[in-house]
Chain A
Amino acid sequence: MLNIKDLQVSVAGRQILKGFNLQVNPGEVHAIMGPNGTGKSTLGNVLAGKDGYEISGGSVTFNGMDLLELEPEERAQQGLFLAFQYPVEIPGVSNANFLKASVNEIRKAQGLAPVSAGDFLKMMREKMALVEMKKDFISRSVNVGFSGGEKKRNEIFQMAMLNPKLAILDETDSGLDIDALRIVANGVNKLRTKDNAFIVITHYQRLLDYIVPDVVHVMYDGRIVKSGDKDLALELEEKGYDWIKESLATV
């Protein structure tokens, strides 16, 4: 589904991704772990199409399409979803109106008619239950007055509403307490199918106790330096990132 080949990305003249490679197939959950400053967020932002990144080499194919050629909204319309590490507050736009616009724009791109008001409300209530959102959520402005945990739950809620083919969770667990973590992970797990895929970018192993990955990759200095199964995450937790640095130095 996703094929990243030798991706080179710079920001403000400084190279962050230095030949990044990754292949994700339908039904898979990939975890990407690594120390801070190693390019994890850059990866998420570049895949989502954020401005300000200079792509100097490599390619990204998403379901046979050249992802880097698409506008951010086109990527979302094709089934890509990024759960932001720092979700934006949008005072004055209600969660309902925001999502309705989003759902309908994506449907339009797929040649479908807009969802009816009644069906939309039904959908919202269903998915709100999934992430345990309170009823007043519908009319509140997007992320305004939300705690960190509520903002992250809102990201998962949106994911549930938009049903993407590939979801990238950018440090979704950062700043979450155990209860919020449980709700977020539960939401993600309920959405897993054999046709969609997830990339879980995380600093800590803890989330991976709840969202069990098929593959764990370790990112260091702008590329993936080690891959393994879920036990790699445990080993990393035990030995720390220095272990990776050391093992690379000896190579």
Chain B
Amino acid sequence: MTTISKDISVYSEALDAVIDGNRLPAGIIMKKQVAINQFEQLGLPTMKHEEWKYTYLAKILKKGFVPGLTDKKAIDIAAAAAQLPARKNEQANRIVLVDGVVIPELSAIHYTERVTVLGLADAFEKEETGALELFASLTKGKGQALTALNTALSQDGIFVHLAGNTQANLEIIFIQSGSKTIAMPRLIFNVEHGSQLNIVEQHVSGDQDTMINMVAEVFLDNDARLEWTKIQDGGTGAHQLDSVYVSQAAGSQYHCSTISLTGELLRNNQFVSINGEGAHANLGGLYILNGKQQADNLIVIDHNTPNATSNQLYKGLLDGESTGVFNGKIVVKEDAQKTNAFQSNKNILLSDQAAAYFRPQLEIFADDVKCSHGATSAEIEDHEIFYLRSRGIGKELSKSLLMFAFVSDVVEEILNEQVREQVRQSISSRLKIDF
């Protein structure tokens, strides 16, 4: 069998299946056809692409992942229900997707006049939502093949619209059933002036190999806020390709924390466009990896206007033969005076075979800016371990406590205490600490 990347017809056939298997408006079908053409021109990224040199995508696809239609009728809702984590916040909207498709029976959505939360397929059918226009508006022309693939092959996802000066909490659960079809949910979040959207995202996928290629388009109006915590702890077989595109207007705040704990491949792309003064983007991430796990974080922040700030703080704990990549790019355009942009990546290598790669990139075209970047390799200090051991704590638990301590500043950046606590529990569980 030829490698899937060379077999373009597989993708066109998948698009045909998606169009046939779903009721899509003409405008959406057109955008999908444009996207599949873009994908075919771009081709899947290979290791010759700078930003994919550590992720051997063609090899990963050989595990049998295929693009295609997810048959909604074939989804085992009862099995999915059994895997759902307990609700952390009864007041929040909960939206559950299985293999990239929204399952209303497992979701709990409160629709109000000012807060719209819908499956994306439903949103496409309601013209008044504006989903048709927003879809693929931020991703256009970005040259990202996997994004184009999602534009083409996504059949459902999540649409959220907050009218001005309101607030909503959303719990998103992505369940992967074990099918080898690549799930491709599309997310669109439109947060109007002065509103705040809080999202906690979780994944459930078990030990079988599964793949999800998701794309989010986020529109933050003046003074709007999005706080998004992505907990990537779904299962050892998870392969997650995640791309988020954000457009920020003046005074808006984008806070995203990516907590990468389990999964064979956790590829996270963040493309943030700061288009208004006084906006702030805060991207935090931590990856705790073992075995052959790989986390690959690409962040591109475009400062297009003056007086905005951004901050990137990513930390990695790498054991076994794992790989952690941090590729952080800051672009400050000529007019973006008084930009403050900071970036920091710290890694602790816990074994000889683990590897950390960092690639800070600064492209500064304005002359009155403050930018800094730093990447360090750290160690767990012997005298810290000894102090804990002298208090009766065994060597392994001492190391785990210090590992927890190392990433805790990333956790502390999460603004909501309940969410912070949820993340702390996931991390302590991952590190086998019983607090």
A105 near B409 with CB under 8 A, answer no
Q: Which of B28-36, B55-63, B150-158, B382-390 contacts A (4 or more CB under 8 A)?
A: B382-390
Judge whether A98 is part of the interface by a CB distance below 8 angstroms: yes
When the two chains form their complex, are residues A93 and B401 in contact, meaning their CB atoms are under 8 A apart?
yes
Closest Cβ of chain B to A244, distance in Å, is: 31
B129 at the interface (CB under 8 A from A): no
Q: Which residues of A contact B389 (CB under 8 A)?
A: 49, 71-73, 76
A82-104 Cβ-contact flags toward B at 8 Å (1 or 0): 10100110111100011111100
Could you tell me the distance between the alpha carbons of A88 and B398 in the complex, rounded to whole angstroms?
A: 14
B409 interface neighbour in A81, A92, A162, Cβ under 8 Å: A92
CB distance from B390 to the nearest CB of A (A): 5
* A91 in contact with B405 (CB, 8 Å): yes
Is A51 on the interface with B (CB-CB < 8 A)? yes
Say yes or no for A226: interface residue by CB 8 A criterion. Answer: no
Query: Which residue from chain B places its CB closest to the CB of A78 in the assembled complex?
Result: B392
Q: Beyond A51-B382, A92-B405, is A158–B391 a contact (Cβ under 8 Å)?
A: yes
Nearest chain-A residue to B403 (Cβ)? A92
Q: How many residues of B contact A (CB 8 A)?
A: 25
Residue of B nearest to A142 (CB): B387
With A51-B382, A92-B409, A93-B404 known as contacts, the answer to whether A102 contacts B391 (CB < 8 A) is yes
Asked whether, in the complex, the Cβ of B435 is within 8 Å of the Cβ of A82, the reply is: no
Q: Does B393 contact A (CB under 8 A)?
A: yes
CB of A249 to closest CB in B, whole Å: 38
The answer to whether A8 has its CB under 8 Å from any CB of chain B is no
- Interface: A172 (CB within 8 A): no
Residue of A75, A92, A105 most packed against chain B (CB within 10 A): A92
Query: Does residue B406 face the partner (Cβ distance < 8 Å to A)?
Result: yes
Chain A residues with CB below 8 A from B405, complex form: 90-93, 141
Q: Is the interface of A mostly helix, strand, loop or mixed?
A: helix
A77 interfacial contact with B, CB 8 Å: yes
Q: Is A122 close to B, CB under 8 A?
A: no
What's the minimum C-beta distance from A64 to chain B, rounded to whole angstroms? 19
B382, B393, B407 pick with most chain A CB within 10 angstroms: B393
B387 / chain A contacts, CB cutoff of 8 Å: 84, 87-88, 90
Contact of A49 among B390, B398, B435 (CB under 8 A): B390
Q: B402 an interface residue at 8 Å Cβ cutoff?
A: yes
Evaluate contact between A76 and B408: CB separation under 8 angstroms.
no
Which residues of chain B come closer than 8 Å to A90, judged between CB atoms? 384, 387-388, 402, 405
> Which residue of B is nearest A84, CB measured?
B387
A52: nearest residue on chain B (CB-CB)?
Answer: B382
* With A93-B401, A98-B401, A105-B397 as contacts: A88 and B383 at CB distance below 8 Å: yes
Q: Which residues of B contact A248 (CB under 8 A)?
A: none
| CB-contact partner of B392 in A51, A77, A84, A88, under 8 A | A77
**In chain A, residues 94-118, which have Cβ atoms closer than 8 Å to a Cβ of chain B?**
97-102, 105-106, 109
Cβ of A199 within 8 Å of any chain B Cβ, yes or no, is no
Do A106 and B392 have beta carbons less than 8 Å apart? yes
User: Cβ of A73 and Cβ of B408 under 8 Å apart?
Assistant: no
B394 & A82 in contact (Cβ 8 Å cutoff): no
**Those of A179-198 within 8 Å (CB) of chain B:** none
Q: Is the CB of B391 within 8 A of A92?
A: no
Determine the chain B residues whose CB is within 8 A of the CB of A82 once the complex forms: 390
Task: Report Cα–Cα, A49/B398, bound state, in Å.
Answer: 15
B294 CB to nearest chain A CB (Å): 25
Interface residues of chain B: helix, strand, loop or mixed (majority): helix
With A88-B387, A93-B401 given, is the CB distance from A105 to B393 under 8 Å?
A: yes
- CB A152 to nearest CB in B, in angstroms, measures 14
Q: Contacts of A98 on B, CB cut-off 8 Å?
A: 388, 391, 401
Of B383, B391, B433, the contact of A76 (CB 8 Å cutoff): B391
Closest residue of chain A to B394, judged by CB? A73
Residues of A within 8 A of B394 (CB): 73, 105
Knowing A51-B382, A87-B387, A93-B402, say if A105 contacts B392 (CB, 8 Å). Answer: yes
Residues of chain B from 355 to 402 with CB closer than 8 A to chain A in the complex = 382-384, 386-395, 397-398, 401-402
Q: Cα distance A77–B407 when bound, in Å?
A: 28
B348 to chain A, nearest CB (A): 12
- Bound together, the chains give a CA A100 to CA B390 distance in angstroms of 14
How many angstroms between the C-alpha atoms of A48 and B390 in the bound complex? Answer: 7
Closest CB of chain B to A9's CB: distance in Å? Answer: 17
Taken together as a complex, chains A and B put the C-alpha atoms of A99 and B392 apart, in Å, by: 10
| CA–CA, A71 and B395, complex, Å | 9
Residues of A contacting B402 in the complex (Cβ-Cβ under 8 angstroms): 90, 93
User: For residue A75, which residues in chain B have a CB less than 8 angstroms away from its CB?
Assistant: 390
Whether B401 lies near A101 (C-beta < 8 A) is: yes
A50 at the interface (CB under 8 A from B): yes
Residues of chain B within 8 A (CB-CB) of A72 are: 386, 389-390
Identify which of A49, A88, A101 gathers the most chain B CB atoms within 10 Å of its CB: A101
Cα(A106)–Cα(B393), bound, Å: 8
Nearest Cβ distance between residue B395 and chain A, in whole angstroms?
A: 7
> Which residues of chain A have C-beta atoms less than 8 A from B406's C-beta?
92
Task: Give Cα distance in the complex from A81 to B408, angstroms.
Answer: 28
**Does the CB pair A76–B390 fall under 8 Å?**
yes
**Which residues 393-435 of B have a CB within 8 angstroms of A?**
393-395, 397-398, 401-402, 404-409, 433, 435
Docked complex Cα distance between A105 and B392 (Å): 6
8 Å CB contacts to B: which residues of A153-167?
158, 162
CB neighbours of A93 from chain B (8 A): 401-402, 404-405, 408
B287-308 CB contacts (< 8 Å) to partner A: none
Q: Are B393 and A73 in contact (CB under 8 A)?
A: yes
Max count, chain A CB within 10 A of own CB: residue among B390, B394, B409: B390
- Residue in contact with A102 in the complex, picked from B384, B392, B404, CB distance below 8 Å: B392
Per-residue A-contact encoding for B200-227, CB less than 8 Å = 1, 0 else: 0000000000000000000000000000
Provide the bound-state CA to CA distance between A87 and B390, in Å. Answer: 11
CA distance in complex: A84, B386 (Å)? 11
Pick 10 A–B contacts, CB within 8 A, sort by A: A72-B390, A90-B388, A92-B407, A92-B408, A98-B391, A99-B391, A101-B435, A105-B394, A105-B397, A162-B392
A73-B398, A162-B391 given; name 9 further pairs at CB < 8 Å. Answer: A48-B386, A49-B389, A73-B389, A81-B390, A88-B387, A90-B384, A91-B409, A98-B391, A105-B397
Question: Hey, which bits of chain B sit against chain A, CB under 8 A?
Answer: 382-384, 386-395, 397-398, 401-402, 404-409, 433, 435
